[in-house]
Amino acid sequence: MPSNDGLRLTESTDAPPGVGAATVPPVVGLDDAAARRGDLAGAKAAALARARAGGLPVLDGFVLTVPAVARGGDALPTAALRAAWSALTRDGRDRVVVRSSSAIEDTTASSMAGRFTTVVDVAGWDDFLCAVRTVIDSASAVAATEGVSVDDVPIAVLVQELIVPRLAGVLFGVEPVSGRTDRRAIAVVRGLPEHLVGGTVTGSRYETDTRGRRRGYDPGDLGVKISFRTRSRLVALGDECAELTGIPQDVEWALAGDGRLVLLQSRPVTTRISGVPGGPVFGPGPVAETFPDPLSRLEQELWAEPLRRALRSVFEILGVASRRRLDRSRLLVVVEGRVAVDLDLLESGDRVHWYALGARVRALRAAWRMGRLRVALVGLGEDEIALADAALLDVPSPTDLTDRQLVAALERFGLALESLHAYEMLMGLVLHPDAARLSASSVALRVLDRARRSGLDEHDIPGLHPVVLALVPPRLGPEIRLPDVALPAWHPGHTARAAVVREALRLRVRWVQEAGARFAWQLAIRLTERGDLATPEAIRDLDLASLEMIVRGLAGSIPHAPPQARPGAVPSEPLPARFRLGDTGRPVPVIDRHPHQGTGGGGGSGRGPVHVGHEPDGDPSSIPDGSVLVVRALDARLAPVLPRLRGLVAETGSVLAHLAILAREASVPLVVGLSGATTRWAEGTVVVVDGTSGEVTPVADEDRARVDADATAGVTAGVGRSR
């Protein structure tokens, strides 16, 4: 595929030498060089003019230019328009299509698809003039919707001969959802494509490979089918457009009755290009609770790298994968600051744990190791906790250390995290979910409530009651923002000793992370005061090696690297629940085969209307009482809303996550690992959540009235109790 730096149809500015906008005629043919200028002909017409010049099958036509529309106001250059219209229509005997061609549509940044007006099947001069004015007026409607002046929506009018096709549709030069470059998507309808692109008809949809071979088919409303030869021609047309422009295209096409394939429109796809997927399946679920927000470069090295090393250690101890497999795996990846782990390896570990009867020697060895670990691990975990507590008590104040000592301490914190993570993960393997009836978050909620009731200042609470750190993820910054919470009205019962040890280990992980954050921030303040950093926040964009070079006075030797994602600074889309990395480094979603089943997290069964998504820092009162909350990832900051829920469904997450434990405490049915859950049901869809089987199924329409009638009573009696 050509690079994105190549020639682009929609951004071309070539024109006859010495010809400016003021000297261009008000009407130009698609074969004129001026029509290939986006500022004169608009993006759509410029794209088609360049495609026509490149030998692609584009219908003949002409353009009423952007300057002509701007200069004319209510007056149109009727003489020039009439001459062009007469030549194209053979003095009105043929019909035309009148389309918008704005400089702000069909670009790499925005397609503005369907926002401007198209008038098809225009016959006669009077109807033609009316159609031209209708298209021009659509710019005013777009400007009003966008809240800008009409002068900020420059528009040209594209006129082409009308074709009455046998079939028409759209071809995407990449798979439009995942961005896979080894897939193409074709939508097809009979007749004109306006109903398809306008959204009034669901066309038949093919997914193909790069040669047009079928990889999937959805008949849609009409059940239209096209042959392999037609699919191959369409894929080839899309590839020609991409080669000419340097970027994959969204191509509108038509197939005439005589077999001619015509290019109606070509614009850059706005899907993020992910490339060709390969390698293991990754997912954020097991670490989404630990790292719910994007990490900056330094945060990744301080906290994600120790977790990667701990994963390696755990897999070596268990023996569930060969050293060669571990050497090939990245174990943990960071995509735009978001952390995900190798699910193929983690799930193989789960299979050994639950179904350790495999015939392979490695599986038998793993089972033997697990048997011995079950006996000794709780005691070893308690020893690790004692060592961590002693080390934390011995940590000096960061103000008492030199700059070099602060950097060295950050490296030692990483080693401590590696050990704590390894023990915590091993404890999770021997701990059954039903035994996990307590979490650090549930304790922290009660401690935080009591601390506030006693009148403690917010800034003093973390130092006096460090357990509250379980409620907030780690980050480099000047202060800790504790959540606004109310005391949950539930209490855990008997808790297994292993569960207590695991939660204690998780809490020590968080304490060590916080210690490292404070050391790094102290160093950031010093370097800023000396002028080595522009602001303390700039430390987030460094790695440890660069930080050490600055401290040693070697800042000029640091290679330049662009800033990475940081919490609250750079928008970053959540990762898919399961994905493979494309060859561009972008995630390509892996779709689960079962449409309604995830992993049951307990809490019984419940039903209620779906409420999709919630920002943990947002207003929890926006979540309706008695609803089934559907989120991308489990986040302990959602704990205060649990007593009001009938169910909780997450695209990612572990049944041993803090929020999962809290949900079981409150008897809220929980399902995790349900891919695409946040886009699967419309807001208000009534579903049944089975926390045992992991199934989430819509309720039949006739049952909804009864469910709604029961909702208020259910909330009063204790929303989310087992039913």
Is the same domain home to 154 and 168? no
Q: Is 586 among the domain residues?
A: no
Is the same domain home to 37 and 6? yes
| Angstrom distance (rounded) from CA 409 to CA 413 | 6
Bridging pattern class, strands 599-600 and 605-612: unpaired
Percentage of the chain modeled with pLDDT above 90: 40
pLDDT per residue as tens digits for the range 663-684: 877 788 989 878 778 888 888 8
pLDDT of residue 16: 43
CB 340 within 8 A of CB 304: no
pLDDT of residue 633: 80
Q: Which of 461-470, 527-536, 571-580, 656-665 has the lowest mean pLDDT?
A: 656-665
pLDDT per residue as tens digits for the range 326-340: 888 889 999 989 999
| Angstrom distance (rounded) from CA 297 to CA 442 | 31
Is the same domain home to 150 and 216? no
Is the same domain home to 307 and 455? yes
Strands (E), 561-674: 579-582, 587-589, 599-600, 605-612, 628-631, 647-650, 670-672
Q: Is 84 among the domain residues?
A: yes
CB 136 within 8 A of CB 63: no
CATH number at residue 50: 3.30.1490.20
Using the predicted structure, report yes or no on whether residue 12 has a pLDDT greater than 50.
no
Q: Is 490 among the domain residues?
A: yes
Is the same domain home to 269 and 183? yes
Using the predicted structure, report yes or no on whether residue 569 has a pLDDT greater than 50.
no
Q: Is 40 among the domain residues?
A: yes
Q: Using alpha carbons, select from 689, 703, 706 the residue that is nearest to residue 629.
A: 689
Is the same domain home to 391 and 475? yes
Which strand (E) or helix (H) includes residue 216?
Answer: strand 214-218
Q: Which of 536, 557, 578 is the last residue of a domain?
A: 557
Q: Is 198 among the domain residues?
A: yes
Count of structural domains within the chain: 4
Using the predicted structure, report yes or no on whether residue 484 has a pLDDT greater than 80.
no
Using the predicted structure, report yes or no on whether residue 83 has a pLDDT greater than 90.
yes
Average pLDDT of the chain? 80
Is the same domain home to 368 and 418? yes
User: Domain containing 200: what range?
Assistant: 163-273
Q: Quick one: pLDDT band at residue 576, thresholds 50, 70, 90?
A: confident
Is the same domain home to 521 and 649? no
Q: Quick one: pLDDT band at residue 720, thresholds 50, 70, 90?
A: very low
Q: Which of 133, 162, 191 is the last residue of a domain?
A: 162
Using the predicted structure, report yes or no on whether residue 545 has a pLDDT greater than 70.
yes
Specify the length of the chain in residues: 723
- pLDDT higher for 520 or 503? 520
Using the predicted structure, report yes or no on whether residue 507 has a pLDDT greater than 90.
yes
| Angstrom distance (rounded) from CA 431 to CA 350 | 12
pLDDT per residue as tens digits for the range 389-402: 999 999 999 999 99
| Angstrom distance (rounded) from CA 303 to CA 519 | 14
CB 473 within 8 A of CB 634: no
- pLDDT higher for 535 or 638? 535
CATH number at residue 708: 3.50.30.10
pTM: 0.69
Is the same domain home to 112 and 206? no
Q: Which of 80-89, 101-110, 385-394, 516-525 has the lowest mean pLDDT?
A: 101-110
Rounded to the nearest angstrom, the gap between the alpha carbon of residue 607 and the centroid of all alpha carbons in its chain is 28
Rounded to the nearest angstrom, the gap between the alpha carbon of residue 485 and the centroid of all alpha carbons in its chain is 28
Q: Using alpha carbons, select from 339, 342, 285, 290 the residue that is nearest to residue 311.
A: 342
Q: Which of 162, 185, 200 is the last residue of a domain?
A: 162
Q: Burial-class residue 468 by CB neighbours within 10 Å (0-12, 13-18, 19+).
A: buried
Rounded mean pLDDT of 408-412? Answer: 94
Using the predicted structure, report yes or no on whether residue 438 has a pLDDT greater than 70.
no
Is the same domain home to 175 and 83? no
Q: Is 82 among the domain residues?
A: yes
pLDDT of residue 351: 39
Q: Quick one: pLDDT band at residue 354, thresholds 50, 70, 90?
A: very low
Rounded mean pLDDT of 113-133? Answer: 86
Q: Is 110 among the domain residues?
A: yes
Q: Which of 418-422, 577-581, 713-717 has the lowest mean pLDDT?
A: 713-717
Is the same domain home to 495 and 613? no
Is the same domain home to 67 and 158? yes
Judged by phi (left if over 0) then psi (alpha if -120 to 50, else beta), residue 345 lies in alpha
Q: Is 685 among the domain residues?
A: yes
